[in-house]
Structure 1
Amino acid sequence: MRYRCTVVGVASAAALGLGAIPAAASPAVPEPAPRVADATAVAATLTLTPARPVEPAATAVSDPANPDFRRFLSPVAVRDRFGAPPARVARVTRWARGAGFAVGRIDATGSRLPITGTAAAARREFGVDLVEATVSGVRVRSASPVRVPAVVAADVLAVTGLSQPVAEPLSLRSCLASPNTSSVLAAAAPLVTAGGCASLPSVVGAVGGVSCALAWGEQPGPAPLSRALPGRVSQPLCGYTGPQLRTLYGLAAADTGAGQTVVIVGAFNGSSTLVDANRTFALTGVAPLPAGRYQVRRYPAAGTARVTGCDRAGWALQQATAVQVVHTLAPAARIVYVAAPDCTRLVDALAGVVADPGLVGAVVSLGWGVPAETVADDDRAATDAVLARAALRGMSTFSASGIYGTAAPAGTWRSTVAYPASSPFTTAVGGTTSAVGAGEAVLWQTGWGSVVGDRHQVGRRDLAPVELGGLVPFGRRDFIPDGRRVVVLAAVGGGPSLDVARPAWQTGVVGGYRQVPDVAALADPLAGLRVGLTDGGYLVRPTGGTGLATPIVAALTALAQARTATRAGLLAPLLYARTAAGRPPLDDVRHITAAVWIPQPRGGLVVAVDAARQRTRPGWDPVTGLGTPGAGFLSALD
């Protein structure tokens, strides 16, 4: 597991407990990136120009005001109407072979043509500079912008695979320790992680030595804090159980998802996923997942050598989280886990899902993403084409809107919109902190934005501002001079995409760019879902992130399809249209001032809820979008 941290703001290093920073030296001259050797095998995918534009047709079948609304197409019709004409495929194939590439078979959608050659051939034909780079610890290939040869320029929409974008899983685990330190940054570092918690014990009434609650507020904070925020303070949860999660979304016993298929796209495949899931279900009040309703498929089945350095622990957590969420909410649905060969081939795996004729009407969960501003134009064009074809087939895709903060996969302090969540052909999922109290009573929901502060001047009678959070050491005074800066522990990465224009269906938002997210669900790992995973040993821990929220919304959509006997397709346009018409299918989420209290040897740590710079507000907001599924969501597809 790779741990990442960041220094926030301009607070002194000593104030943050980081020690002294050496005096600035002359800047080092960066060494040039090593070139990919000419003989290196390189695989790429040519997305061919379709016979007719795909995106307008996908928008039409997804728009409730369009006569073609929900006139979804069969896989054969998608290929025949929107695949590349045979003459185009033949022309590009002849060119590629003449240029020294081996050419694979066109995919079932008639749009993606795989080629393999050497780095020298790629440089010569596409005019790219291929170098080696390290992104998030992953050794990958990076390419300059592609120039398609003029002879086939009109035939090729995009070239992907020359650069290898690194996708990050967006689930987080609560890994509470008992740090005895005056540094908030050091205290916060082990609270949440994107990977494993092998060094800490499993949840059995306590998390790593810190008491945890079985329901929100069961173990509130100290009296001054609890009096200031009645009903809105809790020690960290041990993780909600299956019955608590189903209660949160108003599910009845008859809501099982029978006849539905939920596809989870991830990287790698955990060999113990099914065993871990059923072991966890036995502890959390959920019926077992039969082996016959859990399938693993691998797309693409073959290719060049895998990259090294992918966060396998994080991907294992993402897989376990999604499988356990989907079965908890839709226990009769079929789950298909699609494993990409590594963390750079997620879109290839998604394309395999869309091309699969056996997945008609499937709901697809994409609990991962890459920073939107790093996505090359060709990668965006190719991925949008895949997602648009999914919409044409009546598939519903849901994409995690990202995470930021010191615990985020990228360890970044600023909100970064994730891709493919910012695509106009998927529904982007944000996150909530949700309080389910004793007796499975749903107390409140607000946006997920966990914040601690580097100010902790507090005695017995002086409580740090809840808006900032921070250490609350009862019985002594402690003060960090740089007192008003905060550390975002983890929060929803939402807001505008600076590369994607706002689609016409996204009404009620400000600005000319695509805004993320569209919908939200439970995401706070300090009040998340209890998830079991073998990570050195079998562990059950609270799990959150938009990688949790995304399969929640996907599973609820499968339930809605089952209840209404309707395929949803691209869901976001319907959500905005119904909201604009005064019939919102989602419950608007409002700001709640609340906190999680984490006891420490000399006081405790206050983690403020919905306290990041982007906060929840009435109507659409960059944390929860239009809102969260409520009691009316399952009937909203009618």
Structure 2
Amino acid sequence: MPTAPSRGRIRRVLAGAATASVVLGLVAPTAAHAADPQPDQRIGLVPITPKNAAHAAAPADDTALDLGVTLRPRDPGALESFVTAVSTPGSPVFHQYLRTDEFAGRFGAAPADVAAVTAELTAAGLQPGAVESDGLTIPVKATVAQARKAFATDFAGYTLADGRTAFSNTEAPKVSGRAAAKVVGITGLNTVATAESMSRPSGKEIAQPKQAPATERQLKPNYVGGQPFVCSDIKDRLTAAGLRPMIDYNTPDTLTINTYQQAFGNGGAGATVAIMSLEEFDDQAIAGYQRCLGTTTNVSRVKVDGGPTVPPSKTVGVETALDIETVIGVAPNADVLVYQGADASNRELTATLRRIVTDNRAQTVSISWGLCEKYMDSSSLQAQNLILQQAAAQGQSVFAAAGDYGSTSCTDPSGQFLPQLATLSPASQPYLTAVGGTTVSNPYNTPVESVWNNPGGGATGGGVSAVWSLDSATGYQAGVSGPGYADLCNAPIGRTCRQMPDVSALADPMQGYLVTTYSDADSVYWTTIGGTSFSAPLWAAMTAHANADPKCAAAGPLGFLNPQLYKLGSTPGLYDPTSGNNVMSASGYTGSLYQAGPGYDLTTGLGTPRADKLFAQLCANLPASPAGKFNAVSPTRLLDTRSGASLAAYGETAVQVSGTAGIPASGVTSVVLNVTVTDPATDGHLTVYPSGGARPGTSNLNWTAGRTVPNLVTVPVGPDGKVRFYNGAWGQTQLIVDVQGYYGTAGGSTYLPSGPTRVLDTRTSGGALAAYATRTVPGSQLGAPSGTKAVVLNVTATDTRTDGHLTVYPSGTTLPSTSNLNWTAGRTVANQVIVPLGPDNSIKINNGSWGSAQVVVDVFGFLGANGGASFHSTTPQRLFDSRIGQATNSWPFGADEIRVLKLDGDGRLAKAKAVVLNVTVTNPRDDGHLTLYPSGQSAPDTSNLNWSAGQTVPNMVTVPVGPDGTVMIKNGSWSFTDVLVDVFGYYS
């Protein structure tokens, strides 16, 4: 059956190429013709020579080239259909994203095609490398002479208006007939087109001495949860310069007033934003910005092809600083990865974007660079299209600046305005969200937004792509036609040209975002910057906020947003600017203009975000994680590194779970593991997460050097049936993993919250548990209702005389060779335990040490009882951290203090019967214990964590949710301590 047309397909013949029109051939030849002799073919189009470019010497024969041969996916139609389905609400596979390592095997070129093209390239005298992890790109080393011969094209040299020299192939590259059907493009043959940043400085600048007066009023950090705001030292300097907030500049807190910020309270904790950069940036400038705001956002570099070589300056690094600091201000607890290409070339834009997507470390991507679609070579367009399809298939949200040159959108590579309608690439690509720009009037009262268009100072990009088209019946822009739409792409029957932008946000540089861009020996320099390169990271940061919120996180990242946004249509979550146009008089264009109006238009798209409403709508439409019921298995050891190599510093290991130790090969949603770290060389933490997914910014175990620490872990199983373990320490450690049970879609037991209730305390009844002794806790003491198959306990060992371990197991069974708690002499250790009941509804506790220990057991619920709830896993997210502040909880817990843990308002967690948390106590000033319990009742005489002064102690906690959707936390200590809370799932 033929594949139905799907959106995002490049049209057969590129516009403006009548004299050299080439069919790009997205549909692979049928099997009947695949073996027939094929004539050699030229791939793509001859690049357009820019105006005002003078001919110069051609590149020398020995000039080195780094080329990329882009292969055709094994089934382009299936790829496009999958991307549509996985991104569209209501689809059976909505949000069922591919793993990082799954794309190549499912949609990459067939191995036989890779081998055939590699052989052809080698035979042509080139040096192809191994296919990249996307399964679609073969890197090739060559010289100009080798490329000239291999691809039957000459090269010409140019001197551009800005003095830069460049070269370009004079003909589209020719490949053999055997390879032509397998190749869609060859990048790296020209250096004429360069990517440009879309930032617009306002010209306002404030110098802040690095040794500013160190008064409490001036330099006190302001970020204590909620939205950060700048320190009073800078506010005073801005006021002295006559600059007014919201009128002359914007900061994170004024963006909140203008409703760009959303009302989620975790600051993006657990989310990661990737920033695509083609320049170096100033670390001291970023540090100065964070010092003033009081933030501690983690900003890391990822070098691509060696990264940039030009050092940061007053002009170099401005764009990247704006992108980074926008994310810091809007999502201060997210992680920022800055992917830095070697320079601003078109090739590096493609290579850097590919690295972001194939790494798949970030759920959200911001692109503030681009070049005129007209001057993009067709091979790069094809390569970027496939990269963005992979991003959408993996669930990555990509935002790109729509451009700052109005309806003409861009200049040519020589810096000359184009007096014709044009769009910016990659913003015009169909598998990302293009972001336009607005300006705000009356900001202090009732803000009104209109199209950003400063006479002589830039205007939002927008218009109709001359390259890309979408299915006019099933594409996300079906039924959409912005005022002024024209068929610039010669769309085939049944398709319409891609229109952009999709959405907008504040971009006016005269109301720009206040950032630090560079520094010198004495000062850090603050300025205001606008342009659509501010709009794009603003959307990326807001989306990171939503991805980190448990309401969204339960279903994975939001992914490619366009199908969801266009499906919402008119919504309170989007403000619709209806005035203004995006013509730029400086461009010399005098034809029809794009005008704002009600509904979708080609200036501001669907509108600007009212983020608290918009993302609440998007999150509400997401599917919940599959419901699972608990199945106990005989405790089995899956991993013990003491019998082999330890887990290295910052190392990872994967453990096969599905299909082992009594766990079925399919239908498993999450697995329950008892994880123990022992003999750690340094302080550190362990993160457990499903294979194939991005590693979350949370922890399951935290330890100090030399300590043995256990914890129960409930973690989703990756699509390959594996779970990964990451050692977040700069020293090695030993790791022990025992499986206790699993949650699955077939059979099993539901959970009935209960208590917490203390059922055993050897300190007050029965005396300490002697060395190697076993004690029975009868069913009558546990209080298990009829039908109970297993009980959820918190078990604590204290007054331990020697090193040892504790094992909890069903009565009537043999003592297993696993453990639930491990300790070193003198330590107090607690751990959650899920244990099946024996035939007489009892359980046994064995002290596996040669010294006595006191044991305390608290009940937190039952599995298998009537009226229970099913388990839903969530992407691990940090709900609370008293060290850095969340809302009003920005200080350590005081002695006997009780605080309210808010979950997620009216979301899934607040409506759950119980939540599964990982709770960590750190920096305790004295011995103590922590108790979690549902709101609406008095604090019980139970505990979840027990510690000695100075210890860092984690424990998994399953706690019922109170009637108001909250949980209480009580510090049962005589002094202060810090508390961290991560959510891992809920029962509903």
Normalised to the residue count of structure 2, the TM-score between the two structures is: 0.47
Equivalence for 1:354: 357
**What is the Cα deviation at residue 411 of structure 1?**
6.0
Equivalence for 1:45: 68
Distance of aligned partners of 1:214 and 1:160 in 2 relative to their CA distance in 1, 3 Å threshold: same
Structure-1 separation of matches of 2:86 and 2:67? 31
Structure-1 separation of matches of 2:53 and 2:288? 50
Distance of aligned partners of 1:448 and 1:133 in 2 relative to their CA distance in 1, 3 Å threshold: same
**What is the Cα deviation at residue 543 of structure 1?**
0.5
Indicate whether 1:68 and 2:73 are aligned: no
- The correspondence for 1:267, drawn from 261, 278, 289, is 278
Equivalence for 2:256: 246
Equivalence for 2:893: none
Structure-2 separation of matches of 1:326 and 1:550? 10
Equivalence for 1:432: 438
What one-letter code is carried by the residue in structure 1 that aligns with 2:616? Answer: S
Distance of aligned partners of 1:545 and 1:57 in 2 relative to their CA distance in 1, 3 Å threshold: same
Indicate whether 1:527 and 2:554 are aligned: no
Structure-2 separation of matches of 1:437 and 1:269? 34
Equivalence for 2:57: 34
SS at match of 2:276: strand
What one-letter code is carried by the residue in structure 1 that aligns with 2:558? Answer: A
Equivalence for 2:467: 499
Q: Which runs of 5+ in 1 are unaligned?
A: 1-27, 178-201, 217-236, 452-487, 594-611
SS at match of 2:267: coil
Distance of aligned partners of 1:540 and 1:411 in 2 relative to their CA distance in 1, 3 Å threshold: farther
Q: How does 1:37-436 map to 2 (within 5 A)?
A: 37-53=60-76, 54-134=79-159, 137=162, 138-143=164-169, 144-164=171-191, 165-175=193-203, 211-216=242-247, 237=248, 239-248=249-258, 249-252=260-263, 254-270=265-281, 272-273=282-283, 275-283=284-292, 286-290=293-297, 293-301=298-306, 316-344=317-345, 345-357=348-360, 359=361, 362-404=363-405, 410=415, 412=417, 416-435=422-441
Distance of aligned partners of 1:319 and 1:513 in 2 relative to their CA distance in 1, 3 Å threshold: same
**What is the Cα deviation at residue 335 of structure 1?**
0.5
**Alignment deviations for residues 517-547 of structure 1 (CA, whole Å, 9 cap, x no partner):** 0011111000111111116663211110001
**What is the Cα deviation at residue 278 of structure 1?**
3.4
**What is the Cα deviation at residue 352 of structure 1?**
0.7
Structure-2 separation of matches of 1:315 and 1:420? 22
**What is the Cα deviation at residue 86 of structure 1?**
1.8
- The correspondence for 1:569, drawn from 542, 555, 559, is 559
**What is the Cα deviation at residue 243 of structure 1?**
0.9
Equivalence for 2:829: none
- Largest Rg, 1 or 2: 2
SS at match of 1:175: strand
Equivalence for 1:13: none
Alpha carbons 1:256, 1:329 under 8 Å: kept: yes
What one-letter code is carried by the residue in structure 1 that aligns with 2:61? Answer: D
**Alignment deviations for residues 87-133 of structure 1 (CA, whole Å, 9 cap, x no partner):** 22222222222222222222111111100111112112212232223
Distance of aligned partners of 1:203 and 1:44 in 2 relative to their CA distance in 1, 3 Å threshold: farther
Q: Which runs of 5+ in 2 are unaligned?
A: 1-50, 206-233, 486-495, 582-591, 620-988
Structure 1, 364-373 or 498-507: larger mean CA deviation: 498-507
Structure-1 separation of matches of 2:314 and 2:300? 21
Distance of aligned partners of 1:407 and 1:527 in 2 relative to their CA distance in 1, 3 Å threshold: farther
Distance of aligned partners of 1:211 and 1:333 in 2 relative to their CA distance in 1, 3 Å threshold: same
What one-letter code is carried by the residue in structure 1 that aligns with 2:450? Answer: T
**Alignment deviations for residues 288-345 of structure 1 (CA, whole Å, 9 cap, x no partner):** 234xx2111012348xxx899x998655111100110001111111100000000010
Equivalence for 1:586: 574
What one-letter code is carried by the residue in structure 2 that aligns with 1:509? Answer: S
Structure-1 separation of matches of 2:88 and 2:309? 40
Structure-2 separation of matches of 1:436 and 1:538? 31
Structure 1, 120-129 or 416-425: larger mean CA deviation: 120-129
**Alignment deviations for residues 73-95 of structure 1 (CA, whole Å, 9 cap, x no partner):** 00222111011222222222222
Structure-2 separation of matches of 1:68 and 1:505? 17
**Alignment deviations for residues 11-50 of structure 1 (CA, whole Å, 9 cap, x no partner):** xxxxxxxxxxxxxxxxx99964432222211110011122
Alpha carbons 1:169, 1:315 under 8 Å: kept: no
What one-letter code is carried by the residue in structure 2 that aligns with 1:68? Answer: V
**What is the Cα deviation at residue 615 of structure 1?**
3.9
Alpha carbons 2:410, 2:423 under 8 Å: kept: no
Structure-1 separation of matches of 2:429 and 2:608? 20
**Alignment deviations for residues 243-290 of structure 1 (CA, whole Å, 9 cap, x no partner):** 1123322433615111111000011222x23x312323444xx33234
Structure-2 separation of matches of 1:442 and 1:104? 59
Alpha carbons 2:204, 2:528 under 8 Å: kept: no
Equivalence for 2:449: 445
SS at match of 2:518: strand
Structure-1 separation of matches of 2:559 and 2:390? 10
Structure-1 separation of matches of 2:299 and 2:52? 53
**Alignment deviations for residues 336-365 of structure 1 (CA, whole Å, 9 cap, x no partner):** 0000000010110110111115x1x61000
**Alignment deviations for residues 555-612 of structure 1 (CA, whole Å, 9 cap, x no partner):** 1111122222141211112111111xx546422123279xxxxxxxxxxxxxxxxxx9
Alpha carbons 1:560, 1:636 under 8 Å: kept: no
Structure-2 separation of matches of 1:399 and 1:259? 23
What one-letter code is carried by the residue in structure 1 that aligns with 2:433? Answer: T
Structure-2 separation of matches of 1:515 and 1:590? 17
Distance of aligned partners of 1:149 and 1:33 in 2 relative to their CA distance in 1, 3 Å threshold: farther
**Alignment deviations for residues 214-240 of structure 1 (CA, whole Å, 9 cap, x no partner):** 343xxxxxxxxxxxxxxxxxxxx1x21
Structure-2 separation of matches of 1:549 and 1:101? 42
Equivalence for 2:602: 622
Distance of aligned partners of 1:31 and 1:246 in 2 relative to their CA distance in 1, 3 Å threshold: closer
Structure 1, 61-70 or 153-162: larger mean CA deviation: 61-70
| Alpha-carbon RMSD | 3.1
**Alignment deviations for residues 478-513 of structure 1 (CA, whole Å, 9 cap, x no partner):** xxxxxxxxxx42101111112211452113224431
Structure-1 separation of matches of 2:331 and 2:252? 11
**Alignment deviations for residues 119-153 of structure 1 (CA, whole Å, 9 cap, x no partner):** 11211221223222345734333223222222311
**What is the Cα deviation at residue 176 of structure 1?**
5.5
Higher RCO, 1 or 2 (CA under 8 Å, sep at least 6)?
1
Identity of aligned pairs, percent? 30
Distance of aligned partners of 1:620 and 1:134 in 2 relative to their CA distance in 1, 3 Å threshold: farther
Distance of aligned partners of 1:146 and 1:307 in 2 relative to their CA distance in 1, 3 Å threshold: farther
Equivalence for 1:637: 618
**What is the Cα deviation at residue 65 of structure 1?**
4.7
SS at match of 2:547: helix
- The structure whose residues are more often strand, as a share, is 2
Alpha carbons 1:176, 1:210 under 8 Å: kept: no
- The structure whose residues are more often helix, as a share, is 1
Structure-2 separation of matches of 1:38 and 1:327? 47
Structure-2 separation of matches of 1:431 and 1:296? 28
